[in-house]
Amino acid sequence: MLSLWRGMYESRDFGARPILADALQDVGRDNTDNLTHCRDANRVPVRGCWVVDLILDKE
């Protein structure tokens, strides 16, 4: 799963966010704010997204 997040981060293609939200939920990471953020089609994803940074442990 981390490789998918890293790939999104490096390529700046965040289209797989909803799929990765499902993967997070499958492994017990069920923070509603994070999941909702990833599944919201109205958000414009950008590099530096707080959810991606949180998961990748970036500062």
* Mean pLDDT to the nearest integer, 13-27: 85
* Whether the predicted pLDDT of 29 surpasses 80: yes
Number of folded domains that form the chain: 1
Virtual CA dihedral for 36, 40, 43, 48, nearest 10 degrees?
Answer: 50
Instruction: Give the per-residue pLDDT at 44.
Output: 67
pTM above 0.85, yes or no: no
Which candidate, 18, 23, 30, places its Cα nearest to that of 3? 23
Of residues 46 and 30, more confidence is placed in 30
CA angle 16, 51, 13 (to 5 degrees): 30
Contacts for 39-46 with beta carbons within 8 Å, 24 or more apart? 45/14, 45/17, 46/12, 46/14
26 falls in which pLDDT band (50, 70, 90)? very high
Segments forming the whole domain that contains residue 23: 2-56
